[in-house]
Amino acid sequence: SLSTNDCQLAGGQFIEFSSTASMRVTADQPIAVAQFFAGQGDTQGLPTDPSQGDPSFVLLPPSEQWRSSYTVLAAPGIKDNYLGLAIDSTKVASVDVDGTAVTGFTAIAGTTFQVKNHPVTVGTHTISVTAKPQQAPGAGVTVYGYDSYVSYGYTGGLDLGTIVTGI
């Protein structure tokens, strides 16, 4: 079950759940993981009711496809823009956005992963990831933004190396 952290799905099955927590998803077979953003007013009465936004859908790349550099665009005409950053702290020494080091990452309990929702201004941004010695650098990047009854979100990029064979 999802609540006991041992959810098992057969081929073609899916699970949908709500959470405001960051988490790590693992699998022993190929999977697709997506994130849906709730729309403004869609969860009325709950402490997590969004005060901005419209439903958005973002496919998340596996950590094996994370890149060491990205160039992304935060949409004009949107009030609040963010970079969703995810790193493996055993592999990454630092992450810079537009030449400035990002601090304040939050650990995902029971893992070596850390995350940060980093606010950015409208326009083009560069993300550079520096590896620890003898490690391959990489970070997961999601670009998203919210305004009154509108939102957007997209994967900042991914490598396209082969990670699954024999299918």
In DSSP notation, 52-83 reads S---EEEEE--GGG-BSEEEEEEPTT-SEEEE
Stronger pLDDT, 46 or 82, i.e. the higher one? 82
* Most confidently predicted of 26-30, 70-74, 77-81, 153-157: 70-74
- pLDDT surpassing 60 at residue 101: yes
Res 42: pLDDT: 57
pTM here is 0.82
From 84, 79, 74, 78, select the one nearest 105 (Cα to Cα): 84
Q: Average of pLDDT values for 27-31? A: 76
153 has which bridge partners?
A: 144
The residue ranking higher by pLDDT, 69 or 166, is: 69
pLDDT of residue 69: 96
137-157 per-position pLDDT tens digit: 899 999 998 887 788 889 999
From 34-48, 65-79, 121-135, 144-158, the region with the lowest mean pLDDT:
34-48
User: Does the structure show a pLDDT above 50 at 94?
Assistant: yes
Residue 61 tokens, joined: 């790349």
* Residue 56 pLDDT exceeds 70: yes
Residue 15's pLDDT is 76
Give the Å distances, CA to CA, from 122 to 33, 104, 136. 27, 21, 30
Size (the chain), residues: 167
pLDDT in the model for residue 16? 75
Q: Residue 89 carries which DSSP code?
A: T
The pLDDT score that the predictor gives to residue 49 is: 47
Residue-level pLDDT at 32: 75
* Phi, psi dihedrals of residue 130, rounded to the nearest 5°: -105, 130
Measured between alpha carbons, how far is 156 from 143 in angstroms, rounded to an integer?
A: 6
- The 8-class DSSP code of residue 30 comes to -
Question: Per residue in 14-41, is it b (16+ CB within 10 Å) or e — as a string?
Answer: eeeeeeeebeeeeeeeeeeeeeebbbbe
Distance CA 100, CA 146 (A): 24
